[in-house]
Chains A and B, each alone.
Chain A
Amino acid sequence: MTDITEEEIERTFERLTADAKRSGYNLNPDEEFTKELVESLLINGKRYGYWACPCRLADGVKDEDLDLICPCDYRDVDVEEFGACYCALYVDKEIASGGKDAKPIPDRRPERDERAQFKAASAGSSGKAELAYPVWRCRVCGYLCAREEPPGICPICKAGKERFDRFM
């Protein structure tokens, strides 16, 4: 059913592992589990054109799915609270070192209507301070930068430009 090759999975797995390490994140140490997730991400990449979370139902319209493109907007808080993100691709130090297993966790993604409300609220909340540059915040990892436009790719978590909000 899938035309994803072993080589693609391997290559992507290695890139994600290196990226995670470099920016202070950890992939699930269960390599078999993690590679299944990588394959699913590659399948979704082909299917939707972006890496929608394999464990949530993507809409197929990118604007509706932005918050669940891996790494999703909920990863950091879930790793903090439960030790793993929703699909368990990313885990905390304890799980990464084998001290504990990743467990399924509840989905904190708001329903569609609630998401629309949050979006409207955050759009109207940017401050009116006189700044030399606007400040942009990455919704995935919280990275802040002051510049005319958000970066094309978040230097910390690699999320795309469309996942930044004006913060100040």
Chain B
Amino acid sequence: MEYEHVDGKDKGKIVLYALSTCVWCRRTKKLLGELGVAYDFVFVDRKSGEEREAYKDEIRKHNPRCSYPTLVLNDERCIVGYQDIEIREALSG
């Protein structure tokens, strides 16, 4: 699976699963940009067929509802939705 990378401060492995049309996903990306952290992301709506299913399976491991945005920190912590305060707390400092 391929992810697009955004450069920034190393805060561990950060992966954002998003939809290109989703305004809450856009806000989450903007917040990550504001926090200046390095992260990988993918717009799942721009993937199709088996490739899309593979990303969905990956998301389900952390968020069984498979909703967007899903933010996964270090393969263990998962933040579902644009949770401004929670994301800030997890990644600032």
Contacts and interface: CB of A to CB of B under 8 A. Distances in A.
Contact of A55 (B23, B56, B65, B83): B23
A36 B44 contact: no
Given A37-B23, A87-B22, A88-B23, 15 more contacts: A33-B23, A36-B23, A40-B23, A54-B22, A54-B23, A55-B24, A55-B68, A57-B44, A58-B45, A60-B48, A88-B24, A104-B81, A104-B83, A106-B65, A111-B66
Nearest to B56: A57
A106 B23 contact: no
A12 interface: no
Interface string B45-73: 10010000000100000000111100000
A107 interface: yes
Interface of A: 1, 33, 36-37, 40, 43-44, 54-58, 60, 87-88, 104-107, 111
A147 B48 CA distance: 41
Interface in B7-61: 19-26, 44-45, 48, 56
A34 to B, nearest CB: 9
Contacts of B23: 33, 36-37, 40, 54-55, 87-88
A118 B45 CA distance: 26
Task: Name the residue in A1, A43, A56 with the highest tally of chain B Cβ atoms < 10 Å from its Cβ.
Answer: A56
A87 B68 contact: no
Task: Name the residue in A37, A40, A55, A60 with the highest tally of chain B Cβ atoms < 10 Å from its Cβ.
Answer: A55
A43 B20 CA distance: 10
B1 to A, nearest CB: 16
Contacts of A105: 81
